[in-house]
Structure 1
Amino acid sequence: MAEIIEIMDENALNRAITRISHEIVEKNKGTENLVIVGIKTRGMPIARRIAENIRSFESGDVVLGSVDITDYRDDKKKDGKCRTENIIDIDVQDKNVVLVDDVIYTGRTCRAAINAVMDKGRPQKIQLAVIVDRGHRELPIRPDYAGKNVPTSRDETIRVLLKEQDDRDGVLLTKKGGAK
C-alpha cells in the first residue's frame, strides 16, 4: 500500500509562489524585458499565479506565455508531424525568460522547454522556477527558483495539486510500499 504525505498545504504553496515571485523581480532588477513562460500543462497555472503576484507589487507589465514541449520530448516516438508554429505563443527575442514548471526531476522536461524557446528566438537569458526540486537529475540543469527541495528516492513521486486542475492546492509525496 502506498503512503501519501502532504508536504505543502495551500498556505505553504501560496507562500512559495509569493517568494518565487519576489525573487524573480529581484534577480531580474524589475520587470523590464521579463517574460514568464509556463510549461504546459501544470506549469501554466503556476506561471499565471507568479505573473499575477508580480503585477500586484511591481509597476510595469509582466508578459505571460506558455510553451508546449510535445514535439521536443525525447521519450515519445515522433509521428513526423511538427507543430512548431504552436510551440510558444510570445516573443522571446532578447527577453529574460523564466520557465515555470511544477516539479523538476531528471531535467528532461526543462531541456525540451529550453529547446522550444531557442527555436522561437534568442532570449537574453533563460531561468527556471519550480515548486519542488526532487533531485535525481540526468542533465546538468538546476532551478534558479525553487519553492521546496525534497530529496526523494526514485520510487517516490511528487504531485503538485492546483485548484485550477485538482480543485485544491497542495503538494503530495507518495511513498510506494508505505505503512501496512
Structure 2
Amino acid sequence: MAILDAAASVFMKLGFAAASLDDISDNYGATKGIIYYHFRSKTALFFAVQRRAMELTRAAIEPAALASGSARERMEQMAFAHTLLMMEHLDYLRVAAQGLELHLGGRTTEEERAEMKRITTLRDNNERLYLKVLEEGVSNEEFRPMDARIAVKPLLGALNWTSRWYQPRKGETRADREVIATEIARYAVHGLLQHGR
C-alpha cells in the first residue's frame, strides 16, 4: 500500500507521462528493484492506483447507499462521504479524475485494455449506487422528475471536480474538511429536489 501511496503522489504531481519509476522509488524511499518486485511497469502501477481509487470510493459511498432512510438523506450522506474522500485521498482521486484513456491512449496492449475495462467496470458500479438512489428518489417524489441516467452524470461531475480545485490549507483539520463536504453535498442534492421542498 505504501508503494501505491508513493505512486499516487508522484502521478498527481508529475502526470503519468512525466513520472518515472525512479521518481516513485525515490518518493517511496527504496530501490527501483523493490518497485519492480511488486509491479512490473509504470503502467501496472498506474492501473493499481486507479483501481485503489475506485475501491476507496466504493467503501466511502456504499454504506450510505445501502442504509435505511430517505433517498434524500442517503444521497446527501453519499455526496458528503464522496467529497470528504476526495479531500483526504486527494492524490488517488486526482489521478483517477485524470482518466485512464487520457494517459494511455492507443499505446496499450490487449492485456492493458482488459485491465482498463475492469477498472471502468468498478467505476460504473460506483455510479450505479448513485443511480439506484436517484431512481428511488424520483419514484417516491423526493426528487423532481428527471432521467436519472442523465442526471447522475452532472451530479458525479460536480462531486469529482473537488479533486481539481481543492488544495489543503495549512493547519486544516478534518472538521474543516467536513464543513466543505457538507456544503458541497447540500448543494449537489438541492439540484435534485422538487420545488418547494
Q: Which TM-score band applies after superposition, normalised by the shorter structure? A: under 0.3
Alignment TM-score, normalising by the size of structure 1:
0.27
Larger Rg: 2
Higher relative helix content: 2
